[in-house]
Amino acid sequence: MERRVVITGLGVVTSLGWDLENFWTRIKNGESGIHRLQSVNDPRLKCQIGAEVKDFDPFPFFENKRDAKRAERFIAFSVAASKIAGAQSGIDFSESAPNRAGAFLGTGIGGLRTIEDAAETYIESGPDKLSPFSIPMMIGNAAGGILAMDYGITGPNYCVTSACATGTHAAGEAWKTIKFGDADVMFAGGGECTMTPLTIGGFVRMRALSTQNDEPEKASRPFDADRDGFVMGEGAGVVVLEELEHARKRGADIICELTGYGSSADAFHPTLPHPDGRGARQCMERALAHAGLNAEQIQYINAHGTSTPPGDIAETKAIKAAFGEEAANGLMVSSTKSMTGHLLGAAGGVELAISALALRDQVVPPTINLDTPDPECDLDYVPHTAREGKLNSAISNSFGFGGTNASIVVSQFNG
């Protein structure tokens, strides 16, 4: 019998907060979480804006307070989002088989802040002054390890790292793990904290970041003719995936069903997407095939939509190619990165949560700042204002440097 996979918990930590319902309200209202940077103060940087998480206290989310003190910020974000998702799901692991639950918590870059600080310490003071916790704070799989210890779960547990597609790949691989029978419950998503001078300076040199510093809230403008790059965000997004019968037996509230997953590679360029969007098209088509759906059965796409000039055009072309011109014209497409910024390895988890909430409430979140549409981006991007609609299935897209692509299909649960 086919094992179906449902979503029973959602957790986010973003610049728009980490209370899930308040976050969702702010997204629906088109509120921007992008401001002048506070954690990085270097006037030499051409980019001075970002979507920072403010006033975040990690301690309530850790069983061991020493772990909280030693946790790099991206680790703390991931653990917090996982605990929020776990609380919503209502799972009690003392009543479940611990070897049937696991976690795929990814990160695109990992503990770069710790690496920068450790390098500076080494250069200025020598190796004997390095913290003994430097390595545990750097490694990408630390969040999954802490979550496993806190919950006592011993199932599959590893870190997915695939740049900006990380969170979506993590959820897709967790979906396959449950379908293949290796687990009944999986935490899946990603966390990221790359607000450092090195990261910002490096992305600026690539001409990837927006430098519209005078109006931070308007700097992330996917599909707009005046876009000039993405705005970096930080945080985490995690979902609880559960085998359907396992969820039913414990009376879980099912938010929606994860029905399809596809991945691909552009095989084109280290950072640029294929101009025709062929890799993005391929992974959307695979996700649809796994879901057993045709183009007309998708009503909404949460686009990767980073606000980079080539990326938005390539994704638009990919959607048209995958869905056909007629179907694509009937789709609602939006980029919530216009509000959250681009969370890199955490983006896929946050946007999967948003897609699930869109299905739950039958509301499509807007793309804000879309004032002057790019003529080459001519789909319905739900500009400025959220829109009610009949939503049965949606796709969440994530595409990363190195030409890596991932798409996930979520559908209304039909028992």
Give the residue numbers marked as catalytic: 164, 304, 342
Radius of gyration over every alpha carbon of the chain, rounded to an integer in angstroms: 20
* Contact call for residues 311 and 406 (beta carbons, < 8 A): no
> What's the residue count for the chain?
415
Ordered alpha helix ranges (H), 110-211:
112-125, 134-138, 142-151, 166-179, 197-205
Cβ within 8 Å of residue 407, ≥6 positions away: 168, 260, 261, 262, 263, 280, 283, 284, 286, 287, 395, 396, 397, 398
CA dihedral over 346, 103, 28, 359, signed as positive or negative: positive
Output b/e per residue, 152-189; b: 16+ Cβ within 10 A: ebebbbbbbbbbbbbbbbbbbbbbebbbeeebbbbbbb
Three-point CA angle 398, 224, 189, nearest 5°: 20
Q: Which residues share a beta bridge with 257? A: 6, 411
How, if at all, do strands 404-411 and 393-400 pair?
A: antiparallel
3 closest CA partner among 262, 176, 255: 176
* Contact call for residues 175 and 332 (beta carbons, < 8 A): no
